[in-house]
Amino acid sequence: MFRSMLVRSSASAKQAAIRRTFSSGSVPERKVAILGAAGGIGQPLALLMKLNPLVSSLSLYDIANTPGVAADVGHINTRSEVVGYMGDDNLAKALEGADLVIIPAGVPRKPGMTRDDLFNINAGIVKNLCTAIAKYCPHALINMISNPVNSTVPIAAEIFKKAGMYDEKKLFGVTTLDVVRARTFYAGKANVPVAEVNVPVIGGHAGVTILPLFSQATPQANLSSDILTALTKRTQDGGTEVVEAKAGKGSATLSMAYAGALFADACLKGLNGVPDVIECSYVQSTITELPFFASKVRLGKNGVEEVLDLGPLSDFEKEGLEALKPELKSSIEKGVKFANQ
């Protein structure tokens, strides 16, 4: 429902949809905290979560400017109450009672920067935030957006292990933007309605570790191997495409906020007991020999209900899978090492 709500242009349609959702009065109370809510991803993400009728309490946290963001989105006439928290002293209040914590905090990528260049800054931010989560809302689902996701998710896992409260079912790396891009690019080449397209994306969330499985795309189109190779490359380079198009003035903030809101909505539906909620996510996994891997995941009341297998791969995809493993392994080890320093 949330996905269709996002793409409708009519405000009255949105309000009608929200009223229909609440006519039964059966929607559970859910607190969602966004850490990094005043940033380039955080602000549009706060707006989209305010529009989500599954959210009853929206907690916005950042090191500065959060009260203004909270005042702004708080005027929107939807269900959730919004509170903005600012600075280290208020992090506990922002987190207490949260069912879902979304973390877009950190610095964005600039032209010429690799996701690796972001590592030391964002890794430190994630480490501090996860230490607080372990203390103040240890049972919340965690949606990690802060890059490099291939490393920040293992960092979070190590921090939670140290605190004695790690639950691998509740920690997610958000790779939904790769799925969103793969759907959009595929629909354009296959000449099919984008709303009907689905493309699983596996691996990780950076460069060659991103592997869209166009052989499993629906609806299936008969595209040449050259086109599929180009679509794969474009999906892998989607972030760079945006960074270059913005000419140093930003990175993929709006599309990432949309993707983050889609995945958060799926997590909330899972928590609320909606059956068969399946999304791709970067989670602790035994699907490959790597400890963390992105693939299709069934979401439920405890977070990850089931990590689904990869399904049949084309020869091109099998090659891509083997090619991504060394880089993904290195990124995971880098995160674990950082967390344990």
Write out pLDDT tens, residues 151-203: 999 999 999 999 999 999 999 999 999 999 999 999 999 999 999 999 999 99
Sign of CA dihedral 331, 129, 105, 8: positive
Which residue, 113, 148, 174, sits at the end of a domain? 174
The pLDDT score that the predictor gives to residue 3 is: 54
Q: Is residue 23 pLDDT above 90, yes or no? A: no
pTM here? 0.92
Q: Are residues 227 and 142 in the same domain?
A: no
Q: Are residues 43 and 161 in the same domain?
A: yes
Q: Are residues 163 and 179 in the same domain?
A: no
What number is the average pLDDT over the span 197-226? 97
What number is the average pLDDT over the span 62-67? 97
The pLDDT score that the predictor gives to residue 120 is: 86
The pLDDT score that the predictor gives to residue 250 is: 87
What number is the average pLDDT over the span 24-53? 93
Cα distance between residue 310 and residue 306, in whole Å: 12
The pLDDT score that the predictor gives to residue 112 is: 73
- Give the pair of three-digit tokens for residue 165: 């409260």
Is 287 annotated for ligand binding?
no
The pLDDT score that the predictor gives to residue 108 is: 75
Which residue, 159, 174, 189, sits at the end of a domain? 174
Residue 159 lies in a domain: yes
Is 122 annotated for ligand binding?
yes
Residue 22 lies in a domain: no
Cα distance between residue 10 and residue 302, in whole Å: 35
What confidence tier does 107 reach under pLDDT thresholds 50, 70, 90?
A: confident
Clarify whether 75 is annotated catalytic.
Answer: no
Q: Are residues 245 and 316 in the same domain?
A: yes
**CATH number for 122:** 3.40.50.720
Which residue, 145, 174, 203, sits at the end of a domain? 174
Is 181 annotated for ligand binding?
yes
The pLDDT score that the predictor gives to residue 21 is: 40
Q: Are residues 197 and 316 in the same domain?
A: yes
Q: Are residues 227 and 284 in the same domain?
A: yes
Is 36 annotated for ligand binding?
yes
Query: How many domains is the chain built from?
Result: 2
- In angstroms and rounded to an integer, the radius of gyration of the C-alpha atoms of the chain is 19
Q: Are residues 64 and 164 in the same domain?
A: yes
Q: Are residues 79 and 214 in the same domain?
A: no
The pLDDT score that the predictor gives to residue 117 is: 76
Is 145 annotated for ligand binding?
yes
Q: Are residues 335 and 282 in the same domain?
A: yes
Cα distance between residue 66 and residue 93, in whole Å: 14
Q: Are 223 and 169 spatial neighbours (Cβ–Cβ below 8 Å)?
A: no
Q: Is residue 228 pLDDT above 80, yes or no? A: yes
Q: Are residues 188 and 258 in the same domain?
A: yes
Query: Helical H runs in the chain?
Result: 2-7, 11-22, 42-50, 66-74, 91-95, 119-136, 149-162, 176-190, 225-236, 238-245, 254-271, 315-339
Q: Which residue has the higher pLDDT, 7 or 184?
A: 184
Q: Is residue 96 pLDDT above 80, yes or no? A: yes
Is 5 annotated for ligand binding?
no
Residue 23 lies in a domain: no
Residue 87 lies in a domain: yes
Q: Is residue 18 pLDDT above 50, yes or no? A: no
**CATH number for 240:** 3.90.110.10
Residue 183 lies in a domain: yes
Q: Which residue has the higher pLDDT, 317 or 14?
A: 317
Q: Which residue has the higher pLDDT, 19 or 333?
A: 333
Residue 63 lies in a domain: yes
Q: What digits encode the pLDDT tens for the residues 246-287?
A: 988 889 999 999 999 999 999 999 999 999 999 999 999 999
Residue 205 lies in a domain: yes
Q: Are residues 166 and 228 in the same domain?
A: no
Is 49 annotated for ligand binding?
no
- SS3 at position 54: coil
**Low-confidence winner among 32-41, 109-118, 219-228 (lowest mean pLDDT):** 109-118
Residue 10 lies in a domain: no
Is 33 annotated for ligand binding?
no
Q: Is residue 10 pLDDT above 70, yes or no? A: no
Q: Are residues 192 and 168 in the same domain?
A: no
What number is the average pLDDT over the span 10-26? 44
Give the active site residue among 31, 170, 205, 296: 205
Is 79 annotated for ligand binding?
no
- Domain of residue 68 covers 31-174
